[in-house]
Amino acid sequence: MGRYKWSPTTSKTVEGSAALTISVVAFAWVLRVCGLVEEFSVSEYDSATMTQCIDVAGSDHAVRDDYWAWVGAGGDVRTER
């Protein structure tokens, strides 16, 4: 259904990956708010979830390389403790 594919060789879309990331992070946050899980850094969880969604997007290494280049360029959103 998505318009923008990660690469010409995969059926996975950027919109699908974004939707998966948002739904997983939102559900985890709801569990946290309800007190069913311990507190956690939402930004770290979001980064880890986004990384997994990109990994699932396909075996297109160019997608992963672009993501890690972004992280290396300062896109890392982890917070200091």
Domains: count for the chain: 1
Q: What are the residues whose beta carbons fall under 8 Å from the beta carbon of 31, sequence distance 6 or more?
A: 37
Is residue 21 in a domain? yes
- Would you state the structure tokens that stand for residue 5, as one six-digit string? 């594919």
Please write the tens of the pLDDT for every residue from 29-70: 999 899 998 888 888 888 888 887 877 776 555 556 666 666
Is residue 3 in a domain? no
Is residue 2 in a domain? no
Q: Quick one: average pLDDT of 20-33? A: 89
Entry pTM: 0.61
Distance, in Å, from the CA atom of 61 to the CA atom of 67, rounded to the nearest integer, reads 10
